[in-house]
């Protein structure tokens, strides 16, 4: 299992041909209290870089972009009932959605943890 990161503060956990995607702890710390999360529908085919989810804090809404292309296999329904999970456990229980990886080569431009730490430093 590998975890990769985007420059836009999403993480991807790669297991076989499935990527679980969420936003990073750094992102949630910058957003503040999350009060609403909108996720894509299961079955939707995402194109890399399109806006597919929204995270809203008390003050503002922020788009989440698809870090890779592929079909949405599953979404995290817990976030609808408890959006604050994004603040308390961004890298774990607050995963957003799972995607069937359409094109492995899209993973090549992503960062590993060390590179991401440098990115936010």
The two counts, helices (H) then strands (E), for the chain are 4, 9
Q: Which of 39, 46, 57, 101 binds other proteins (CB under 8 A)?
A: 57
Minimum gap (Å) between residue 102 Cβ and other proteins? 21
Q: What is the DSSP letter of 36?
A: E
Is 10 an interacting residue with respect to other proteins (CB under 8 A)? yes
Is 89 an interacting residue with respect to other proteins (CB under 8 A)? no
How far apart CA 70 and CA 46 sit, in angstroms, is: 5
Which residues, 27 to 56, sit near other proteins by CB under 8 A? Answer: 27, 30-33, 35-36, 38, 53-56
Is 61 an interacting residue with respect to other proteins (CB under 8 A)? yes
Contact of 28 with 59, CB cutoff 8 Å: no
């Amino acid at each position: 299992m590998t975890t990769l990161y985007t420059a836009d503060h999403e993480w991807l956990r790669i297991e076989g041909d499935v990527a679980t995607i969420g936003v990073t702890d750094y992102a949630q710390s910058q957003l503040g209290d999350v009060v609403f999360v909108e996720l894509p529908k299961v079955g939707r085919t995402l194109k890399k870089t399109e806006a597919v989810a929204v995270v809203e804090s008390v003050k503002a809404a922020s788009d989440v972009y698809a870090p890779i292309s592929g079909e949405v296999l599953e979404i995290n329904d817990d976030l609808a009932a408890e959006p604050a999970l994004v603040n308390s456990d961004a890298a774990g229980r607050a995963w957003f959605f799972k995607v069937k990886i359409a094109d492995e080569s899209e993973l090549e431009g992503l960062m590993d943890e060390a590179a991401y730490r440098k990115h936010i430093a």
